Amino acid sequence: MSKRKRRRGTSSSSKKVNPLKIVLVTGGILLAVLGIVLLAGRSGVESWLRGEGFRNFLTEKTAKILKSEVSLGATSWEGSQLYAQGFSAAGYPDAAFARLNLDSVRATYDGAKNGAYFIPEVKINRMNLDFSPHRKKRRYPLPTGADEGGAPVPGWLLAWLPQRVEIKEIRIDAGNLEVHDANDEEQIGLKSVRTVVNPDLESGTWRIQGQGGELFIEGQAKLRLKSMALRWQGRNLFLNQFTLGIFQDGHVEGLGEVGFESSPPQLDLDLKFSRIDVHDLMKDEAWKTRFSGTLRGTVRVTGSPDHSRKEGTIHLEDGLLKSLPILETISAYTRSPRFKRLALNEAHSDFVRQGERIELRNLVVQSDGLLRMEGAVDIDGDQLRGDLQVGVVPGTLRWIPGAERSVFTESREGFLWTGMKLTGTTSQPQEDLSGRLIIAAGESILKELPAETLERAGQLLDSQMGAGGAAGEVIDQGKKVMDLLNPLLFGQ
């Protein structure tokens, strides 16, 4: 009897469950459950991504980043790509822009990485970006923290979902940007630019590279955009580099900043230009026949687009002056045809331009072997006013009686110098040097005329005055005297 009981006791002990087996079985069950949960979670995430939940999440996040009222057009998924017919954003007062419209947006989704939905590439057919004072009246509202509409994500799944979006690159086939003033008049514009954008949505920094298209600036010639590298942060646009084409062969490059904190926007640009034909800058057709050459130089532009200040240095290369009255006069005086077509070996000046007023300072114009001019000129609209020093090479004035003795009296730097006042208009410039040369020549010749010739001229005038001759007759006799002296002054 006791042996049977012992055998039964031994048998029951041998049937006890192995703890390791329990752990393994339990672990297997938990893994299976976890796998089911993960599969369900993944399915839930995929379902949420392709539903209104993700659409509303994306809209809310974009609105928060852009501080704008955002509208996303109809969307659809094609494999891992999300396609939207359009996107629009209307900026609140604290937004960087007024309006943003995108056509045909295609984004590639590459899963969640580092706590973010990772989008390696976005392609956009057309972008229209408008900077203007016209904004939504209220500031950006605080986010509610809840999606409105669509299928909300389950609470247990919410902890698994990233709460931000990371975009590596945005490619735009045709980007358009406009800057408007308070009257909604366009001041600056970029048209049809191929653009690549690398955004940092968390910091609000956008790095932009572009090429092709046109740059429009109110009141200026259209510019061809060759390349640009920009950084847009907050309400400021930093131009790290840009290269433009202007007119036929002109070239402009530079850098700077455009601030949109105030209206109108404020410019601070440093530019370098070259190969600009002076004819492209001239409105007066008469001057195009008198003046030719190409320009290069530097200019700094500050202020608003419609009230900017431009200051810098300008150089004229391959310059040629011809058919100017002053040159014709000098050519006649000196009996040198070289003055009729004056090749300029050196021509440069500092300048300041505000509105229609141009101030030229440290102006230097030189034609080797003939003359040099230095001084300052103001151009206000079409009005001219200048104070110049004119130097000529010794011997050039040998045919002008009294010129070196009475007019060109200062000698320095290999030239004989005199002052010259410039007045008149850009189409009809006037100067006082011609009259002074005539007076000096006349005085010199009169001093050398025989006494009887001078006495005869005096008797002629006395007889006219004594006879009560009209002023017109006296003037006519004076012209006859000048005609007599003319061959002595200027030759045949």
The model's pLDDT over 360-377, given as tens digits with 9 standing for 90+, comes to 999 999 999 888 999 999
DSSP one-letter code for 96: S
Question: Which neighbouring-strand residues pair with 271?
Answer: 254, 299
Model pLDDT, residue 232: 86
Domain boundary among 168, 185, 205: 168
Q: Say whether both 403 and 476 belong to one domain.
A: no
Residue 201 lies in a domain: no
Q: Say whether both 467 and 399 belong to one domain.
A: no
According to DSSP, the β-strands at 341-344 and 68-72 are unpaired
Residue 217 lies in a domain: no
Residue 338 lies in a domain: no
Domain boundary among 117, 151, 168: 168
pLDDT per residue as tens digits for the range 287-343: 788 889 999 999 999 998 778 899 999 999 999 988 877 677 777 767 778 888 889
Residue 314 lies in a domain: no
- In terms of C-beta distances under 8 Å and separation of at least 24 residues, what long-range contacts does 246-250 make, across chains too? 246/221, 246/273, 246/276, 246/280, 247/221, 247/276, 247/277, 247/280, 248/277, 248/280, 249/275, 249/276, 249/277, 250/274, 250/275, 250/276, 250/277, 250/280
Say how far apart CA 214 and CA 227 lie, in whole Å: 11
Residue 49: helix, strand or coil by DSSP?
A: helix
Model pLDDT, residue 192: 92
Residue 370 lies in a domain: yes
Say how far apart CA 127 and CA 236 lie, in whole Å: 19
Domain boundary among 168, 202, 224: 168
Model pLDDT, residue 319: 93
Q: Say whether both 63 and 163 belong to one domain.
A: yes
Who contacts 339 (Cβ-Cβ below 8 Å, separation ≥6)? 327, 328, 330, 331, 370
Residue 330 lies in a domain: no
In 3D space, the residue among 106, 122, 117, 98 whose CA is nearest the CA of residue 196 turns out to be 122
Q: Which residue has the tokens 């189409």?
A: 427
Tell me the HSE value of 362 on the side-chain side, using a 13 A CA sphere.
9
According to DSSP, the β-strands at 165-167 and 116-119 are parallel
Model pLDDT, residue 492: 35
Sites in the chain below the pLDDT cut of 70? 1-54, 137-162, 326, 333, 399, 401-402, 404, 441-492
Angle, helices 433-448 vs 471-490, to 10°: value is: 80
Structure tokens given for 365: 């114009």
Say how far apart CA 72 and CA 62 lie, in whole Å: 10
Residue 17: helix, strand or coil by DSSP?
A: coil
DSSP characters for 241-260?
EEEEEETTTEEEEEEEEEE-
Q: Which residue has the tokens 């006890």?
A: 16
Q: Say whether both 362 and 462 belong to one domain.
A: no
Q: Say whether both 478 and 417 belong to one domain.
A: no
Q: Say whether both 465 and 401 belong to one domain.
A: no
Say how far apart CA 216 and CA 182 lie, in whole Å: 18
DSSP characters for 279-316?
GGG---HHHHHHEEEEEEEEEEEEEETTEEEEEEEEEE
Burial degree of 319 (CB within 10 A; 0-12, 13-18, 19+): buried
Q: Say whether both 463 and 433 belong to one domain.
A: no
Q: Say whether both 356 and 416 belong to one domain.
A: yes
Q: Say whether both 68 and 126 belong to one domain.
A: yes
Say how far apart CA 455 and CA 185 lie, in whole Å: 74
Q: Which helix (H) or strand (E) holds 76?
A: strand 75-78
Q: Say whether both 404 and 439 belong to one domain.
A: yes
Structure tokens given for 330: 């000098």
Q: Say whether both 437 and 354 belong to one domain.
A: yes
Say how far apart CA 253 and CA 302 lie, in whole Å: 16
Model pLDDT, residue 181: 75
Number of domains in the chain: 3
How many residues are recorded in the chain? Answer: 492
In 3D space, the residue among 176, 241, 174, 182 whose CA is nearest the CA of residue 207 turns out to be 241
Phi and psi, residue 176, nearest 5°: -125, 135
| Domain carrying residue 440 | 343-448
Q: Are the CB atoms for 193 and 175 separated by under 8 Å?
A: yes
Structure tokens given for 170: 């945005």
Structure tokens given for 432: 């006082």
Question: Which neighbouring-strand residues pair with 124?
Answer: 105, 172
Residue 403 lies in a domain: yes
Q: Say whether both 163 and 57 belong to one domain.
A: yes
Model pLDDT, residue 22: 46
Who contacts 467 (Cβ-Cβ below 8 Å, separation ≥6)? none
Q: Which residue has the tokens 């939905």?
A: 117
DSSP one-letter code for 425: B
Question: Which neighbouring-strand residues pair with 420?
Answer: 388
Residue 224 lies in a domain: no
Angle, helices 471-490 vs 451-466, to 10°: value is: 160
Say how far apart CA 161 and CA 48 lie, in whole Å: 10
Model pLDDT, residue 198: 92
DSSP one-letter code for 394: T
